[in-house]
Amino acid sequence: MSGNTSNHQGWPYNLKTEAGEPYVIPQYEPQNGVLRWIESRLPIGGLLFGTAVSFPTPRNLNYWWTFGGILSFMLVVQIITGIVLVMHFTPHVDMAFNSVEAIMRDVNYGWLLRYLHANGASMFFVAVYIHMFRGMYYGSYKAPREILWILGVIIYLLMMATGFLGYTLPWGQMSFWGATVITNFFSAIPIVGESVVTWLWGGYGIGNPTLQRFFSLHYLLPFVIAGVVILHIWALHVVGQNNPTGVEPRTVKDVVPFTPYATVKDMFFMCVFCVVFAWFAFYIPNYLGHPDNYIPANPGVTPTHIVPEWYYLPFYAILRSIPDKLAGVCALFGSILLLAFLPWLDTSKVKSATYRPLYRQFFWIFVATCFVLGWLGSKPAEGGYVLASRVLTAWYFIHLLVVLPILGFVETPKALPNSISESVLKKGSVAALVALVIGLAATFGMTNSASAQDHAPNPPAVKWSFSGPFGKYDRGQLQRGFKVYREVCQACHSLSLVSFRNLAEKGGPEFSIAQAEAVAAEYKVKAEPDDNGDVNDRPARLADRFPAPFANEQAARASNGGAYPPDMSVLAKARGYERGFPLFIADIFTQYQEGGPDYLVAVLTGYENPPAGFKLPSASSFYNKYFPGHAIGMPKPLSDGQVEYGDGAPATVDQYSKDVTAFLMWAAEPHLEARKRLGLQVLAFLIILSGLLYFTKKKVWNDVHA
């Protein structure tokens, strides 16, 4: 990749030896005849050596510089888990949701692969935002690194597209409505807008053609990203890395070879990053998602409050802050595209904010602006939120278009060090790291704190045996809960993703095989057509799923006063409630994932007489304290003594509610126990490896710091 001629001038920085001679970078020398034979025909050894071994790296890089490596790693993780998931996914509107659920339930380690992929996308964005802010703080986009930076902006845009396409694939409610909103951006284009959107959809609305093309593109784009990443790295190796001083390396004293120095440092921090990744994937895998996306896509009902994934929130806020459709879409795209022009918008000759006292303050204001915009993006577009979004959107553009150009002329930078080795850097980065991590965590949580439309009180927190890092289901409770489901809920609610065999599987109610078979035999399912073509009923077997109580949605509605009793298979993950600040931040650390179960118990026990002045909309609705809007279509389902327990547990509504909810949580997350168990092992491993890598890194860097 390298320009060979420039090698002799100490590429990439025109480095000099201490004597002032041009520095010649060590060249790859094949160790034996075979390697020499290959090298003279395909110099791949030299290419890799020059890229990853002998490449001179500024010796003063801090940990913010490890995110480039982390990003490459995350790209690989996403591609590998993605390729594997595709082996089990069905891109069809009738099957996509269930095939994702089959991955979660039946595929060996499927739950792990999907949670890694879903949370991996978020981690990828965490890393890219840190990487971008680092570039902005240290002026990494300035000459000669403009193209390097622009390639980075292109990668970021491709990531946004890929993330969006991927989010539509599970075909849940948020997938469907997110796709609807985003594709409708293009309808803002004058004259041809509508045709463009129809073309994108392949129909008159989002449908199967849309899903299939999104799937195809979601598979394609990561490889395009990989291609642009190669260009990005190529450009990096031509111009060399920036560093915290922003002063280019001059002599060999300013640099260290990439391997082992940068390699081991990158690996150490990558491992630390994986600890965070594993925390999310194993313990709070649904924290960053929306409960609504566990509801299958329904083109007839829009969720009350739709929010994009957290990583789009600032731009979503910008879009909504502008009351004109076309202008809003332009502002959204403009806010991203402007980043590509940073090398020219920033007029200062000094790169690093360390030596730019004014810019440094504006930089942090800009970071805060982005975070608050993200928070606003998660809020309903009403009242003060809109005003705040407008102010901050204006500031976002003012910062880029006005502040940056002017600062370069009015600011007096501090004296730059003569060289890197001379510089003494203040260690301000720890505080900044903490601030940024908390900020990111805060933005994360926004996605969960979205709906504010009704004023139902928060459900009381129930103590669940399955919460926390060591959580396990209570077998007795699951068995009782199943009894409640069978004797009460089943009359109206299907459980269509659960099979009878699951009842006997490890980590669930753990009935014996014989018990599960006996349960199955009590149900009737459709048999294969017989020789005369008649379809008869036969007793269900272990491999069968629970048959639905109604033949179709219309039949279910007809029997339930027009309301459709939802399927209960993933209900415990498809419900939740707003946690609010600062609880949602604490939830990351306390691993609170029981918003769904808490809500279900609250609704089951929340039937009351309507307060004075509250008017129920119809005779077939009932007052419920915790149901959004308070008018629920389901009559109070449970009453004391209704279900007989054989094990001495109290036969009360309270107990029934908890038991059936625990059962539903298991139905929604049958591998929860395996997940938490493996999570503990993975975390222990990663922490040990991080420790080892840390000491290895210290040893390797010993002579540099000496």
Partner 1 sequence: MTTMSSDGHSRRDFLFIATGTVAAVGGAATLVPLVAQMNPDASTIAAGAPIEVDLTPITEGQAIKVFWRGKPIYISHRTKKEIEEAQKVSLADLPDPQTDAQRVKKGHDQWLVLVGICTHLGCIPIAHQGDYDGFFCPCHGSQYDTSGRIRRGPAPLNLAVPPYEFVSDSKIKIG
Residues that bind partner 1 in the complex, under the rule CB under 8 A: 56, 59, 80, 84, 87-88, 102, 105-110, 112-113, 252, 255-257, 260-261, 267, 499, 501, 505, 531, 541-543, 685-686, 688-689, 692-693, 695-696, 699-700, 703-704
Distances (CA, A) of 561 to 555, 558, 565, 617, 639: 11, 6, 10, 13, 21
Nearer to partner 1 (CB atom), residue 251 or residue 348: 251
* CB of residue 473 to partner 1, shortest distance in Å: 18
DSSP annotation string for 630-662: SEESS-----TTSS--SS----SHHHHHHHHHH
Nearer to partner 1 (CB atom), residue 261 or residue 294: 261
Amino acid present at 606: G
State the angle between helix axes of 173-184 and 193-201 in degrees (0 to 180), rounded to the nearest 10: 150
Nearer to partner 1 (CB atom), residue 154 or residue 542: 542
Cβ-contact 355, 411 below 8 angstroms: no
Nearer to partner 1 (CB atom), residue 37 or residue 695: 695
* CB of residue 486 to partner 1, shortest distance in Å: 21
Cα 375 to its chain centre, rounded Å, is 16
Nearer to partner 1 (CB atom), residue 397 or residue 701: 701
3-class DSSP assignment, residue 120: helix
* CB of residue 697 to partner 1, shortest distance in Å: 9
Sign, CA torsion 560/566/571/576: negative
d(Cα 562, Cα 599) in Å, to the nearest integer?
Answer: 23
Tell me the residue length of the chain. Answer: 706
Nearer to partner 1 (CB atom), residue 564 or residue 685: 685
Q: Which two tokens stand for residue 676?
A: 């938490």
Nearer to partner 1 (CB atom), residue 109 or residue 470: 109
* CB of residue 64 to partner 1, shortest distance in Å: 22
DSSP annotation string for 254-279: GEEEIIIIIHHHHHHHHHHHHHHHHI
3-class DSSP assignment, residue 576: coil
Angle at alpha carbon of residue 609, lines to 452 and 490, rounded to 5° = 80
d(Cα 477, Cα 227) in Å, to the nearest integer?
Answer: 52
Nearer to partner 1 (CB atom), residue 54 or residue 620: 54
Cβ-contact 588, 119 below 8 angstroms: no
Cβ-contact 683, 278 below 8 angstroms: yes
Helix (H) or strand (E) holding 537: strand 537-539
d(Cα 145, Cα 139) in Å, to the nearest integer?
Answer: 10
Nearer to partner 1 (CB atom), residue 87 or residue 410: 87
* CB of residue 154 to partner 1, shortest distance in Å: 30
Whether omega for the bond prior to residue 457 falls within 30 degrees of 0, making it cis, is no
**Cα separation of the two ends of the chain:** 34
- State phi, psi for 316 to the nearest 5 degrees: -65, -40
Q: Left, alpha or beta for 253 (phi > 0: left; psi -120 to 50: alpha)?
A: alpha
* CB of residue 351 to partner 1, shortest distance in Å: 23
* CB of residue 1 to partner 1, shortest distance in Å: 20
Q: Left, alpha or beta for 23 (phi > 0: left; psi -120 to 50: alpha)?
A: beta
Nearer to partner 1 (CB atom), residue 292 or residue 567: 567
Distances (CA, A) of 457 to 320, 590, 640: 28, 22, 24
Nearer to partner 1 (CB atom), residue 18 or residue 382: 18
* CB of residue 79 to partner 1, shortest distance in Å: 12
Identify the CA nearest to 116 among candidates 171, 170, 72, 79. 79
Cβ-contact 616, 627 below 8 angstroms: no
Residue with tokens 């034979």: 37
* CB of residue 507 to partner 1, shortest distance in Å: 12
Nearer to partner 1 (CB atom), residue 18 or residue 647: 18
Q: What one-character DSSP code corresponds to residue 303?
A: -
Q: What one-character DSSP code corresponds to residue 65?
A: G
* CB of residue 196 to partner 1, shortest distance in Å: 39
Q: Which two tokens stand for residue 305?
A: 């409050």
* CB of residue 109 to partner 1, shortest distance in Å: 4
* CB of residue 120 to partner 1, shortest distance in Å: 13
Nearer to partner 1 (CB atom), residue 115 or residue 133: 115
Identify the CA nearest to 356 among candidates 434, 457, 244. 244
* CB of residue 257 to partner 1, shortest distance in Å: 6
Nearer to partner 1 (CB atom), residue 446 or residue 686: 686
Nearer to partner 1 (CB atom), residue 480 or residue 676: 676
Nearer to partner 1 (CB atom), residue 500 or residue 623: 500
Residues 6+ apart with CB under 8 A from 695: none
* CB of residue 107 to partner 1, shortest distance in Å: 5
Q: In the beta sheet, which residues pair with residue 538?
A: 525
* CB of residue 625 to partner 1, shortest distance in Å: 40
Identify the CA nearest to 406 among candidates 367, 450, 356, 372. 356
Number of helices and strands (H, E) in the chain?
26, 6
Nearer to partner 1 (CB atom), residue 497 or residue 571: 497
* CB of residue 112 to partner 1, shortest distance in Å: 5
How many C-beta atoms surround the C-beta of residue 347 within 10 A? 13
* CB of residue 330 to partner 1, shortest distance in Å: 44
CA torsion, ordered 654, 658, 664, 668, to nearest 10 deg: 140
Nearer to partner 1 (CB atom), residue 21 or residue 647: 21
Q: What one-character DSSP code corresponds to residue 71?
A: H
Q: Which two tokens stand for residue 520?
A: 């199955």
* CB of residue 332 to partner 1, shortest distance in Å: 38
